[in-house]
A = this chain, B = another copy of it.
Amino acid sequence: MKLRRSDRMVVISNYLLNHPYELTSLNTFAEKYESAKSSISEDIVIIKRAFEEIEIGSIETITGAGGGVIFTPSISDRESKEIVEGLRDQLSESNRILPGGYIYLSDLLSTPSILNSIGRIIAKAFRDQKIDAVMTVATKGVPLANAVANTLNVPFVIVRRDLKITEGSTVSVNYVSGSSDRIEKMFLSKRSLKAGSRVLIVDDFLKGGGTINGMISLLAEFESELAGVAVFADNAQEKREHLSYKSLLKVTNIDVKENKIDVEVGNIFDK
């Protein structure tokens, strides 16, 4: 299909947005849109500049025979902070307190536009890490892991707290459920994670860290490595040992009597 330059720029930028972290050769575009490779090269220069101007990501050009372009999504610091501050304000709403000092999060973690932004913010925070897969635990973490995996263009794996027949063979580990101090089990389908993967663990709410530690010990069972831990919010009142993580939000106080939650921006923007 032969396209004009202006049209080509729209369709090539759309292609790159939908294929993050993938190397695409300029010949692919040249053939698809019946244009000279030099024209495509010029298109890329303009798209690269536009992407950088609005900080939606960078385009890297790799020269040589196996070369091409790779789009890495990003998000501006200003936009990230605005989004996280907006989430902090929403999380501070008093009607989120549930009996037992839990916090209702499901509305925030089921809105596509919020999830997309969170995905981009977390992906940016781990941009120096090679990540092959995103791991989370069912059910609440799934949309979050999905969003991060989407930005990173890698698969996500779902650890379960119950054993489902539809998963086939599973590997299980024991973990200490922090809230109850009980020993629980978690399961991961054997074929869902390749050995040697570098894995980013993502979860919605970090309390004692038992669930995260359970997932870390699962990684060892799969001969895989931890690339990092990211959570939507953590409870700063909990005691936790030796767990390194990045959080978007930090809950510093839940006052059930006064029906008040104190929330601050987490450590995700710390250098």
Q: CB of A14 within 8 A of chain B?
A: yes
Chain B residues whose C-beta falls within 8 Å of the C-beta of A158 in the assembled complex: 106, 110, 139
**A7 and B49 contacting across the interface, CB-CB below 8 Å:** yes
Q: CB of A211 within 8 A of chain B?
A: no
User: This chain: how many copies in the complex?
Assistant: 2
Chain B residues whose C-beta falls within 8 Å of the C-beta of A46 in the assembled complex: 6-7, 10
Interface bracket on A: 35 or more
Chain A 143-167, CB within 8 Å of chain B: the 1/0 string? 1001101100111111010101111
- Contact of A165 with B107 at beta-carbon distance under 8 Å, contacts A9-B10, A14-B17, A142-B139 already known: no
Q: CB of A51 within 8 A of chain B?
A: yes
For the complex, give the distance between the alpha carbons of A146 and B146 in Å: 8
In the complex, residue of chain B having the shortest beta-carbon distance to the beta carbon of A10:
B50
**B14 and A54 contacting across the interface, CB-CB below 8 Å:** yes
Chain A 175-196, CB within 8 Å of chain B: the 1/0 string? 0000000000000010110000
**A110 and B156 contacting across the interface, CB-CB below 8 Å:** yes
**B11 and A110 contacting across the interface, CB-CB below 8 Å:** no
26 A-B pairs with CB atoms under 8 Å apart are: A1-B54, A3-B53, A6-B6, A6-B9, A6-B46, A10-B51, A11-B53, A13-B14, A14-B54, A98-B168, A103-B166, A104-B189, A106-B167, A106-B189, A107-B155, A110-B156, A110-B158, A112-B154, A112-B155, A115-B150, A139-B139, A139-B142, A140-B166, A146-B147, A162-B162, A166-B205
